Structure formats: structure tokens, C-alpha cells
Amino acid sequence: MNRVRGFEVVKKYQDQGLTLPRRQTMASAGYDIEAASDITIPSIWTLNFVRIFRLIRNGHELIESDRLAAEKVLKPILVPTGIKAYMPEDEVLILANRSSNTFKRNLSLPNGIGVIDSDYYDNPNNEGEIFVQVLNYGVRPLHIKKGERVAQGIFIKYLKTDDDEPISSQRMSGFGSTGKK
Ligand SMILES: O=c1ccn([C@H]2C[C@H](O)[C@@H](COP(=O)(O)OP(=O)(O)OP(=O)(O)O)O2)c(=O)[nH]1
Ligand SMILES: [Mg+2]
């Protein structure tokens, strides 16, 4: 078969019985992507409560340790998928939330959509493993089981401007790897 686009399991998860993303019906756009391991997503309310409690205790003054604690706990959780995606250079895999996640589970993707670039595949840092960034805005912790579908991936083509000139030729990783600015 001509190899154009698809999913593969990363080395780290080779023998762990992961399922490659599948579409559910003939006309589903999204390949449903599963969690690679059990993971608990704490509620942002619980975390915010801790933050508010600390604020009150400190006479409403936000001191440095509170700020650091709040930032730490409010960071989105990265759900590992154990999956990488390959595709032609002019394509991108868009990670979108499942509507049932917000409707039934209070689970949101705080980055809106995830952009999985074609040059993320096999990058030297993490082999291109896709992670799903999530926040649980419900009041209880959410337990995600290995094999549960957490997001969906949609392959699309992207366009370039006339004077397009990329800054660098190679992607080394993700999540801010191209610099602080
Ligand atoms: O939900 C996501 C979003 C991104 N990525 C990976 C794939 C993508 O190719 C890379 C970079 O993503 P993006 O360009 O959106 O993030 P950035 O903050 O600009 O990081 P970088 O500087 O590495 O480009 O991170 C994921 O695994 N999940
Ligand atoms: Mg980027």
C-alpha cells in the first residue's frame, strides 16, 4: 500500500496493546484517539478553591508562593496517547475535542484545537507522540481509563503565503520548543 498518511504506535508503547485511531462511521471526519494509560484529571474548582483559600488567608494579597502554587495546579494535564501521525508536508492533523466530552464529562481542550504538524512526526525529543491537553471544569476528579477516546484527529491541507519563508528547517519537539517569544 502507498504510504501517505496514518498513525503508528511510538516505541515506548510498543507492547502495550494500544489501538490505532479509528473513524466510527463511513462519513466521520475524525479519527478517535484513545488515552494510552489510566490518568486522573483533577477538577479546576478544587484547585481554585485551594487558591482562593490561600488568598483569603493572606488577607487577599496574592503572594508569590500562592501565584506559583496556583499556576502549577491550573496547568492543563497532558494525556498521553502513545500514537504518532505521519502525513504529507502540506497537511496538518487537527486535534478537536469530542462534543460528548464537554456535554457529559466537563472535559475541555483549553488550547481550543491542537495543531499536530507533519514535522512533529519522529522528532528527536519525543518521537512525535501526540498529547491531548485537557482541563476538567467539573467539580469532581475525572478518571480516564486506558483505551478511552479523549479527542479526535482530522487531517486537512494548509496553505502558504506568496513570500513564505520558514524560520527553521527542522522541528525538535513540541509545546513551546520553537522558543519563548
Ligand atoms: O494538543 C497538542 C498540540 C500540539 N502538540 C504537539 C504537536 C505539534 O506539532 C507541536 C507544537 O504545537 P504548537 O505549534 O501548537 O505549539 P507551540 O507552543 O507553538 O510549540 P512549538 O514551539 O514546539 O511549535 O506540539 C500535541 O501533541 N498536542
Ligand atoms: Mg508552534
Ligand nearest to the CA of 120: 1
**CA-nearest residue, atom 19 of ligand 1:** 176
Instruction: Go through the domains of the chain in sequence order and give each one's CATH number.
Output: 6-41+76-157 (2.70.40.10)
Q: Check pocket membership of 125 for ligand 1, CB cut-off 6 A.
A: no
Closest CA to 113 of 98, 129, 128: 98
Asked if residue 74 lies in contact with residue 46, where contact means CB atoms within 8 angstroms, the answer is no
Interface predicted TM-score (ipTM): 0.98
Centre of ligand 1 to C-alpha 124, Å, is 14
Mean pLDDT of all residues in the chain?
91
Is the confidence at residue 154, as pLDDT, over 90? yes
pLDDT of 52 = 72
Task: Give per-residue pLDDT as tens, 53-102.
Answer: 777 777 766 667 666 666 666 678 999 999 999 999 999 999 999 999 99
Asked if residue 118 lies in contact with residue 89, where contact means CB atoms within 8 angstroms, the answer is yes
Q: How far is CA 154 from the centre of its chain?
A: 14
Task: Give per-residue pLDDT as tens, 1-39.
Answer: 789 999 999 999 999 999 999 999 999 999 999 999 999
User: Which pTM was predicted?
Assistant: 0.90
Q: Check pocket membership of 151 for ligand 1, CB cut-off 6 A.
A: no
In whole angstroms, give the CA distance from residue 164 to residue 42: 42
User: What is the SS3 assignment for 15-71?
Assistant: CCCCCCCECCCCCCCCEEEECCCCEEECEHHHHHHHHHHHHHHCCCCCCHHHHHHHH
Out of 97, 115, 117, 127, give the residue to mutate to test ligand 1, the one with the largest number of ligand atoms within 8 Å of its CB: 115
**CA-nearest residue, atom 28 of ligand 1:** 131
